Structure 1
Amino acid sequence: MKPTSPVPSIAPRPGLSDFFQGLGLLARAFGLIFRTRKLFLLSALCAAVTLVTLVVLGVLLWRYTPGLIGRFFTRPEAWYGQAAWYLVLVLTFLILFFVGANTVPPLLLAPLQDPLSEATEEQCGGAPPSQPFSLGAFLRGLVTGLAHTLARLFLLLLGLALLFPLNFIPGIGSIIWTVLGSLWSMMWIAGEHLAAPMTRHLYPFSEVRRMLRERRALCLGLGAGVYLLLWVPVLNTFFLPVAVVAGTLLYRGLLAAGQLPPPPSASRTAA
């Protein structure tokens, strides 16, 4: 019996079910990882590094965030002032943890993200990488991965910074900022992990932006799933490999549905 292809079947037009299909890419990615030895070994290595990183990050933020908040806002004596101070403390901790979790592990694991994506494409019927390992290519990939991660991190922080003045609206400002900041972060996550395979196939970033714009609900579903996964203990150690695999599956699904033109890398190889 021929195994079912892991490539998702994506409708040619946006629909109400797109968000849930994007969310379901995480379950599809988990299943593919546990069925594929190569993906499982790479994911286990990523999970081990991510676990140590998240624990260290959480401990450091737990220790130093109160001092950071205290530099700007002295803890009031009144109970209602203290309640507001602790609310700011918790929100700041969560934001810093989210930013750190989406920055430090990807920086440390940048050399493994392309192999994960390539192994996923092999399971989707793509050709395995034709070039053998070389130290020069490895170092170039490492530098490029770090540079791209830092550039995308700047985009994330820029969006959050532009939304930050909403906190000064009395009453509901912080709530609005948290909601919009979370939605921005979800779309950023989707763009981050959809861009990885597309960049490897030499698509311009304008194509990534087009997919984020035209298939907004689909991408938001993927981003929301990864965003929520980050806060689930134990499972959050797998958030990076699952996000990489899910982003690659989304790319292959969009390609199979005709939403993307053939990859420029294929035409260059043929030439």
Structure 2
Amino acid sequence: MNGFAYVLKGFGLMWRPGIRRFTLIPLAINSLLFAAGTWAALHYAHQWLDHLLPGWLTFLNWLILPILFIGLMIVAFFTFTLVANFIAAPFNALLAQKLETQLTGRAPPEDTTPLWVMVVKTLAAETRKLLYFALRAIPLLILFLIPVLNLAAPFLWFAFSAWMMSLQYLDAPAGNHQVEFGEQRRLLRAMPVTSFGFGAAMTGMTLVPVLNFLALPVGVCAATLMWVEQGNAALTTRAIKTEQ
């Protein structure tokens, strides 16, 4: 339950004095994209489902349609989460930095990189994550188009989404410590249950109206707390083992 607990604590962290103002831009970006995503998903869902369901399975509509609908919502909202994180990446890093400073009493290592270079590096890192996501998402999306097999697609996508959510949000605090994407993946694999719990909670949050508007700042705050309590320790332990 640790992963779920971090998300619950993220709600309180985002409203702390000294932190609230750094949540405004990520919150605004996320709200706009999720509002557009909700409208598009609800407006076109029926048409998508008609194409995904073959005629000879119509007698099972009562069972299959809800499963496919939930799967499509997960895909749609997760995609909008990726886009929101891509746009808000520099602001997420700033939010994570301010929160970590408040939680630990010390700031992450100072980066003297010029602001414009930092923005370019951040966006480049987000692009690498999008490519990582696309190469793995395409086979899962193809499953949605295969009759019968598409019943398993929503469950597989949920598990994949949970993993990607953990990667997506951990990047803000870990990136402030110049931890690269590959090392972030290794850190999350070292604590699989917590990582999956965190990602599953964030995926579920994107499916709940109103709460999904808050997902971006809550996720960054929760991931920052997780980094402070577990990520730094795991990184230190790995460094010690490497030296030995």
Relative to structure 1, the CA distance from residue 84 to residue 155 in structure 2 (aligned partners, 3 Å threshold; closer, same or farther) is farther
> Which residue of 73, 95, 118 maps to 2:97?
118
The number of equivalent residue pairs is 239
> Which residue of 39, 46, 54 maps to 1:59?
39
Task: Look up the equivalent residue of 1:151 and give its one-letter code.
Answer: R
* Equivalent residue runs for 1:119-134 within 5 Å: 119-128=98-107
> Which residue of 180, 184, 188 maps to 1:208?
184
**TM-score if structure 2 supplies the norm length?**
0.79
SS at match of 1:203: coil
Unmatched 5+ residue regions in structure 2?
240-244
Which residue is 1:94 aligned to? 73
Measured after TM superposition, the shift of residue 194 of structure 1 is: 1.6
Provide the aligned C-alpha RMSD in A.
Answer: 3.5
Q: Distance in 1 between matches of 2:184 and 2:211?
A: 28
Q: Distance in 2 between matches of 1:142 and 1:164?
A: 31
Structure with larger Rg: 1
Deviations 1:164-217 (A, max 9, x none): 45557764x223222122111101111222233222212233432222222100
Which residue is 1:268 aligned to? none
> Which residue of 204, 208, 212 maps to 1:232?
208
Q: Which has the higher helix share?
A: 2
1:40 partnered with 2:23: no
Measured after TM superposition, the shift of residue 78 of structure 1 is: 9.0
Percent identical among aligned pairs is 23
Unmatched 5+ residue regions in structure 1?
1-19, 265-271
SS at match of 1:52: helix
SS at match of 1:37: coil
Deviates more, 1:210-219 or 1:51-60: 51-60
Do 1:33 and 1:40's aligned partners in 2 also have CA atoms closer than 8 Å? Answer: yes
Relative to structure 1, the CA distance from residue 205 to residue 126 in structure 2 (aligned partners, 3 Å threshold; closer, same or farther) is farther
Q: Distance in 1 between matches of 2:122 and 2:80?
A: 16
* Equivalent residue runs for 1:73-222 within 5 Å: 79-80=58-59, 90=69, 93-128=72-107, 137-164=114-141, 166-167=143-144, 171=148, 173-222=149-198
Deviates more, 1:94-103 or 1:117-126: 94-103
**TM-score if structure 1 supplies the norm length?**
0.72
Which residue is 1:7 aligned to? none
